[in-house]
Amino acid sequence: MKSKILITGASGYIGSCLYLYLKKNFNIFGIDKKTTKILPIKKCNLLNLKKLNSFLKKEKPDLIVHFAAQSLVDETINKKKYFQNNVLATQNLILGMKKNNLDNIIFSSTAALYKYKNEIISEKSTLKPLSTYAKTKYKCEKIIKKSKLNAIILRFFNVCSSFKTNKKILGELHNPETHLIPTLVYKNLKKMNIYIYGNDYKTKDGSCIRDYVHIKDICSAVKKSLVYLKKNKNKHEIINIASSTQITNLEILRKIEKITKIVSKYMIVKRRSGDVAKLTCSIQKAKKKLNWEPKFSNINTIINDEISWIKYLDRLKIKRKFKNYL
């Protein structure tokens, strides 16, 4: 009999991709504050504890993958909204799980918790959450640890690209878009101005080094985590999920140009305050505990799958907004 898996935030970028990825091997159902025509998810607001309790009592999932959150790292969003959608929602979910004797949870956290020191980050690295988003994610982690549930906390690094099946394609669609990969690919294809922040870092070409992980690899990491929690009880693991590869902003731009055969219109501007030269991650714990490693996070695969997503949105005539952001 297939395990019954509940995904919260199932209409979001990662949640919807995970839904498609897992549905062949598990009995999947998703909830969110809003429904979508793409997937058969149910409407359920985690801030309504009474309705959440009723829902969990009725459905009795074997495991919950908790992705529901205010996800954009944008300080212009009201701090109260972050607290409600991240901390209070997680608190309610844990209370609902306890009330209904549900034990297993996977929580999506973030690399934004770490203090950046231009060194390879491990799970033992110093934490220093700065943004409201990161601070609320850290509070959620502490709530889950205190609950003593059987839990895995996955700290994702830069998730990117699209997820394709035979019938569907899903990808990032933020408004405005602030993430680097979709910004670079889109602006190259549309021959728009591109801004590179800083070329005076101590890297091979002077631009920042980052660590990008394909959405398919994120989904496979969650699947491995499901298997791990099913086999192991009374666990509380924190695991970084990344590609563990190093690539600069300018290298990504050159790779895009090679694939699209379009020369980018870009200019170097002053580096942003707070940016570090290098941000990469060790995935040794993920390999050891989950028997996981990335298979799709080659930069060429990431770029080609992002191009497919952009062309799909173009066919649907969906307009996109971008910040001057890298």
Active site residues: 133
DSSP-assigned beta bridge partners for residue 195: 267
CA distance 174 to 322: 9
Are the CB atoms for 67 and 10 separated by under 8 Å? Answer: yes
CA distance 234 to 240: 20
Give the angle subtended at the CA of 78 by the CAs of 77 and 83, to the nearest 5°: 110
Contact at 8 Å (CB) between 326 and 190? no
Q: How far apart are CA 235 and CA 214, in angstroms?
A: 27
* Max Cα distance, the chain (Å): 58
Q: How far is CA 148 from CA 91, 97, 235, in A?
A: 13, 12, 8
Nearest Cα residue to 239 out of 294, 209, 282, 210 = 282
Torsion of CA 84, 89, 94, 98, to 10 degrees: 110
124 DSSP 8-state letter: T
